[in-house]
Structure 1
Amino acid sequence: MLDSLRKNVSGFVGMVFIGLIAMSFAVWGIADIFTGAGNDSVLEVGDQEISGSRFQIEYQRRLEELSRQTGSYIGPAEGRRFGVDRQVLGRLAGVAALDQKTEELDLRVPDETVAQEIFDDPAFQGPFGRFDRQTFETVLVQNRISEQELIEDRRGFLTRKQLLDAVSAHAPVPDVMAEAVYGYRNERRVAEYLVLTPDMAGDLPEPTEEELAELHEGAPQAFSTPERRSFEVLVVRPELLAETIAISDEEARQAFEERRSEYDTPETRSFYQIPFAKAEDAAKAAERLRAGESIEAVLEGTGQSVEDVTQTNMTRRDILSGTVADAAFSLEEGAVSEPVETPLGSAVIQVTSVKPGNPAEFEEIKDELKRNLAGETAAQDVYDIYNRVEDERAAGTPLSEIANMLGLRLRDFEKVTRDGTLPDGSKADLPDLPQLLATAFTLGEDEEIDPVETEDDGYYWINVTAVEKPALKPLDEVRDEVVAEWEDATRRAELTALAETLVARGNDGESFEAISGEFDKAVLTSPALGRNASSDTFSRAAVANLFGTPEGKFTSGAAGYGDSLVVMRVKEVRRPDPAANEEEVASLNQTLKETVEDDLVGTLVNALQQEYGVSVNQAMLDRVIGN
């Protein structure tokens, strides 16, 4: 849920819209901003200050994202070596610069707009697909965010969006640019080719002992025992705790009464809602409907279809206008209302069908309700256990003792390889946890890291108890493998030299037919190939070489499959006509326009940073990251 929430909000919780300009920060960076802020803030841009806690939240979020992407745990210190701290500082500096500018311009977002954005956010919708107050509050509690923080964060997001939309709208892109890019992307080439198979390298000599020893020692990773790790894992997940939680009938019934609206099937109405600019026109339409005229006749001349005015199976809460809801739910089926005033003018309501509500019965949903209550209790228990485990770890208590203290199961795994294999060749019965093995093989022995969050809002802690490093096997033990590797390498080298010789002969003017005749093979012709083409015959590298060679000239490259090589001659270059593909060129023009818009936003942010000045409190940054 935490990741889901971050995808739907901005600022220190997510900053989704600012992700648009992330590439800009990658280009301009913040190398020159370490001028030394003098207070407890990590970052200052003009009058804007970024607190240490806000930076820490964003830094940890970015580390979690990178860990998921790479499949390997990246901790705070390692993230700093990779420059993640500067990435986060750059992004926060951009947000602060935009906030400073919006304040100067006195840009504002009405409360109603902010409320509607939150109301429409999928993260806060209940089981019926609409905003649910209880869901909203639960999400905030789970993510340790106050309602006011969320509202102000969303307001800042919408305010920045006003500024960025004004800057990036109507970005010009010359037609010639789109045509040039289109021509580059859609160029096709036809090649004549000859496949050189490994057997064409000729007979290989016997390797000497010196050659085998050099290869054996020079490629230890190929001839060593695998690295193995022993580790212990402590897992706390809601589903595991929920199985141990018993909910009584009394507790379930009390929750049922409190949440009845979630389980009751509400009454729904289908109706026509016909808008009119003038109240007198609405009154005339109501009279015609009561007189028995069809809806089609009443709509004639209004420019509206029946589908335009039809509302189907609407609950009272589905109807935004209170006056429309009152009218629709006060009429009998088939009845027509008097003109109703709405925010958009007058309207006439005619109810076409009524589906009565169906109150839920406790016994019918009791089991489902108990499961939900157990899950909610388990989610809170997970957070409580998380805090207790972290408190004990901070006090230096070993993970095994913490597990015994809290009555939790600690699982031990001995001598596991990176792919989860045990010494006997079987697979270890590992729990399904994100990045478990990747994390285990990143850590040193007894190295402490932050807990890793699971997809179901749980956590796991891992402690590496032993590391068995790879060891080079004796040459006599792996002699056959070393000889096979030497033969493969030698054959590849001979085949590469042959291909280079044939390419040189072709480019010196010798015909392809004469060259191929030496091997008793015919010259083949490829289909038209695009720049990104690949197949069993042509690898991506071979195609790249083909597109880098002038028409009529020779080149070579690896085959798409196996150890063969391909000698190629560029037979034909086919360049597309942009005028014959106007729709595709127009689509590409739009893509380029969006790229230009991103560049404009990046330029604005860079200019604002230069204008306001950016400073980083290095000492505070070190304390936050734990350097």
Structure 2
Amino acid sequence: MAKRDTTDKPKGKSKLSNILVLVLLGVLLLGLGGYGVTGFNTQVRSVGNVGETPIDAATYHGLLRQRMDQVTQQTGEAMTFAEAEQMGLAQAVLQQVVSTAALQETARRADLSVGDAEVARRIAQVPAFQGMNGEFDRDAYRDILDRSGRTVAGFEESVRREAAADLLQRALLNGLTPPAIYGETLLGYVGEARSVSWAAIPETLLEAQPEAPTEEEVQAWYEANADQFTLPERKQITYAWLSAEMMLDQVELSDADLRAGYEARSAEFSRPERRMVDRLGFADLDAAQAALEAIEAGETSFDALIADRGLAEGDVDLGTITRGVLTPEAGEAVFALEDTGIAGPVMSAVGPALFRVNAIMTAQETSFEEALPQLREEMALARAAELIRGEIDPLDDELAGGATLEDLAADTPMQTGTVTWDGETVPSDDPAAQPEFMNAAAAATEGDFPEITTTESGLVFALRVDAVLPSELRPLEEVRAEAEEGAAAQKRADALAALGDTLKSRLDAGEDFAALGLEPQSRDGLTRQAPAFDLPGPVLQTLYDLEAGETAVATGPEGAWLLRVDGVTPPDMTTADARAALEQVRQETTMAVADDILNQLAREETQKDGLDLNQTALTAIHNALR
């Protein structure tokens, strides 16, 4: 990688601007194909300009492809451009190259530049341009640029711009270091350890159980928790659908068809005996025989022999096999066992071996008559699915010709249904429960023409939005039972909180938990950095707001708790770990502040000089990545 000049630069500053570092990554990508413009027009030089500075097209293409490849490596699934666009990756990369161009434009207007020697030094450090001896290879340099559709002059000018922007970055950020007290304060906050005692306040300590909530209290609770009873925007949808089961009456299967299906699946209906087998090879038959005798004498085991070899179970596992998989001699020995156990030693495909039979699956023979019910059902469904596929184009044609969903239900085997769709609740009936239906319903609006859609499960449907219902609060009478239950729970919580305040006063006055009729629990060493999630949630949320000796009542839907912070221990800032953490905070804070400064500068430059994007060039690059 081409390295930045870090002379007199504080440690960590080479990472201060991800934006400018990405430009150097773009230079590296040239040697790896990142600047290879196969896939989009080789005449495309930029995707736009900030002021008079072009936004390099090859850099954008290379960086976006690199980011997509990184996601692919992380997830194990190839990322498509459509996915990159959907998750905002393409926009993020575009913003990065725009910001880079903005910083370069700032440097240009400030008359910042570097000489030919610095440009040459940076180019010579790119591995792709070096020969076998590690020295700069001019022929390779020109060849790579030529194959990527770039000129030497144009490329060197882009390096010069990047170096000038780097110079601007160093001038802006030199000496940027947060005060030491910032890191110490932050580490002190997250590292201080607390000892806490807490106890649940049981309802049995209440002098009387709270009375049932009044109508006014139910109404007040309902209004305070209106979000729980507010329906989202919904769509009234009519749909027509067709499944394989609905086409079964149009399927005819002859005896010949069924017998042909039986023969085609003979391996399924006629299974030979199979066994789950492990195989362990030896140098010779004598060694294998000695191992068998040691196993029989109880001196070792098959698993111990595997472990002694440094092998794993997968190294010896043959899986579930039939006799034909083994050599004749091994097959005879393994399948002669009447129960699980060890067979051998015998010669095998890997030489002398012992075999361990872990399970026996007897042969299964299903006659045509026995298989007939299953055959008939499955073959009929498969044939019905074929009929549905043949109906898709005619159904589409009818819709295109002006037919309604009701017309389709009247003239074809399709059926209609309705659903109130809110985008959250998944209906239980087909096809509204299908993912494809959910996607189509989300995209559909009033006035859209219905279209035939096929689901992965094989059914087809078309839908129409009849009306869009606005978000609304459900009337109290519809949710009265829930509101009454919630109001009652609130009264219990309020009563426990009031009792907790009384108990807190007594605890503050010197009484202990036991004297209050409570059963306390204690925990030491609790920090914000490593919270104890097994504590009651309200206790965990409250204890870090308290100093040593302070008490509080924590309440939540599950009840109320009385707690006391028994001690607060600040972190030891003199340890090696603390010093390392302080340095890390210093570096990360420096980089974060620097990024903010550079990003703000880039935004102001873009607003001042204007951003002009070439949508045609962007489309060409995006098409190359699809």
TM-score, normalised to structure 2, is: 0.42
Whichever of the two has the greater Rg, that structure is: 2
